Chains A and B, each alone.
Chain A
Amino acid sequence: MLDVHDISRSFGTRKVLDGVSFTVGDGRMTGFVGGNGAGKTTTMRIILGVLSSDSGHVELDGRRLTPADRALFGYMPEERGLYPKMKVAEQIVYLGRLHGMSQAAATASTTTLLERLGLEERASATVESLSLGNQQRAQIAAALVHDPDVLVLDEPFSGLDPMAVEVVQAVLSEHAAKGAPVLFSSHQLDIVERLCDDLVVIADGRIRAGGSREQLRESHSEPRYEIELSGDAGWVREQPGVSVIELDGRYALFEVEHGSVGEQAAQAVLQRALAAGAVTRFAPVRPTLAQIFKEVVK
């Protein structure tokens, strides 16, 4: 488990991170979301030890992180870059060796990765001669060459073509399935929503929310239901314990309280509807991540 503990950091007089704490569980895909300048990149850089924090620390499995631990991390910085004049395979082998791999192990791992990413034919081309999409794939290979125990990826999906997005998703899930903590940030909330188990929301350098996706849904929005009737739905407004959000002819979207009281109120709506006629739809409405995000950072 990766445990970020009360980290603060200022650049000059500007406080970029203020007491940031969250955890990334083993085998949990953790999405890290926040607006531009919220502190995601700074937090990730501090986790990787690329940047130092003014206070606070990061633990892995209850121990303070050491450089030796960090060598086992796979890191993909937000601002991509490799040596333009180095050959793809050579470069990835070099980065593998910098992570402590032997020449043979780094070469073997590079070959496997490049094949998997569909880049094996460009292995001896220089990075600058690759297309942008292929450069992104090479970047992914660079982050994964040493078969990392922990993944920290800053915007791993930005700039990827749809095929590469799929590959990266598969790789992330694979690592998580092996029990590795995986932390990734993204602006693409739909991808985060599809992929993550846990969520950490940061705004203005403070953690606004964190926990499992479902938990967040519950705590940051009232349970909502939608119902579609054969007749007019206007009567729903009069139901006790129910507040209607949207009403459109035979359709109603309403909110109830948390817990069993709310559930009973929703069931009461359904019973009355059934008594009145046919019900074509009745379902709980899951708030999207985008809605939760807006709710949390507001």
Chain B
Amino acid sequence: MHLLEIKDLGIIFGGLQALNDLHLVVDDKEIVGLIGPNGAGKTTVFNLLTGVYPPSGGAIRLEGNSIIGKKPFQINRIGIARTFQNIRLFKYMSVADNIKLAMNHNMKYNVVSGMLRLPSFWREERAIDKKARELLKIFDMEELADQMASSLPYGQQRKLEILRALASNPKLLLLDEPAAGMNPTETRDLMEVIRRIRDRFNVAILLIEHDMSLVMNVCERLYVLDYGNLIAAGTPEQIRTDEKVIAAYLGK
């Protein structure tokens, strides 16, 4: 059984077929890339996977169970977490709070014990705080824990968004253009980070990216979209020499 299995997935916006008959699978601990020119429908796939849009047709299964019709917060809880193309951190909260918020639904204490500061509240609050700081340590960001999220430099905000997604303990992590706006050094650093995340958290990663050096280096398999259609799938070597892909990117 595949971790994620997408079959015949499609969505129509008004009269526009934004995505057509997509077939895609991701296995445990795989790093898979989703590439294609601008407007190909890549982010639409993420929005379908996370329940933001309902598909017009097709099936999405996580560990064999359909997730279609589930609400975004339910899908997050059963194991799909994501980052955004344009960073969407909670800017007015601290770095640690951003992470703790994504862990929230695993906490057991209720409003009353929170208000009254019962021991169970403190115990759990301490455990969560410790976990959040441990997560930050992975990216050497632990000394930033109490800063406002909006005060971090851009590259750190991207990393924080990835950590926030990881905090909800996903089986599948969706990264939407993680290298956008990064310089070559930061991008190289990011490749290392992506591999480290996979090994440490045992998650599968599906990522959208325009930076070909990153995609070709990190991804084990690639899917290529163009105008909502899947035009190629395979290993980076196969994709690099695929005529349809070259035509889609460069024109014929």
Verify that A and B bind, or say they do not: no
Chain B interface residues (CB < 8 Å from chain A): none
